[in-house]
Amino acid sequence: MTDVLLAGIDGSEGGKRAAEFAASRAKAAKARLVVAYVIEWSPYTFNTPEENEMRHKRREEEIDRAKAQVLDPFVAALKSSGLEVQGIVQHGHPAQVLSDLAGETGACQIFIGRRGISRMAALLFGSVAGTLVQISPVPVTVVP
């Protein structure tokens, strides 16, 4: 059975480095690579039915834009190198979505970039990397 590696990207240089590192590991291991772009989205809002309809439309537009501008070009470049790659775009909390995707795709490892957020923001809100390391069902590699 082929191993599956999961890389989370967010359009940043750190995310790109993490996915490129994951791709090199996937090539070496002859593994399949799943590249996921997570659009941060909170389900905890209270809207009217009309606002929910508009929100759903915005959500679909965000998914299309993320696929076209970030995910699809990156996945195409990796596929051209002979790697088996799947791209996924989802909404939600990035750490939770990546953790869930690891289970859904059968990934044996997750790769993410470390992004420079301020110390105050990290103290107040935590980081995706820190949260993912705590909740992930598989090992997490945080790429600087």
Return the CATH number at 14: 3.40.50.620
> Can you tell me the mean pLDDT for 88-98?
92
- Is the model more confident about 59 or about 6? 6
- Residue 132 has a pLDDT of 93
Determine the average pLDDT of the residues in 91-103. Answer: 94
Q: What percent of the chain has pLDDT over 70?
A: 85
Check pLDDT > 70 for residue 117: no
Q: Report the mean per-residue pLDDT for the chain.
A: 86
Is 110 a residue whose pLDDT tops 80? Answer: yes
Question: Which ranges of the chain would DSSP assign to H, the alpha helix?
Answer: 13-29, 49-66, 72-80, 94-105, 119-125, 128-135
Confidence (pLDDT) at 58: 84
The arithmetic mean of pLDDT across residues 27-43, rounded, is 89
Contacts of 93 (CB under 8 A, 6+ apart): 38, 40, 42, 131
**Nearest-angstrom CA–CA distance, 57 and 60:** 5
Q: Report pLDDT for 144.
A: 86
The total domain count for the chain is 1
Where is average pLDDT lowest: 15-19, 125-129, 140-144?
125-129
Split at pLDDT 50, 70, 90, the class of 39 is confident
Q: Which domain holds residue 31?
A: 4-143
CA distance 119 to 94: 19
**pTM over 0.95, yes/no:** no
- Can you give the pLDDT at residue 127? 82
Q: What is the pLDDT of residue 1?
A: 43
Can you tell me the mean pLDDT for 60-85?
A: 91
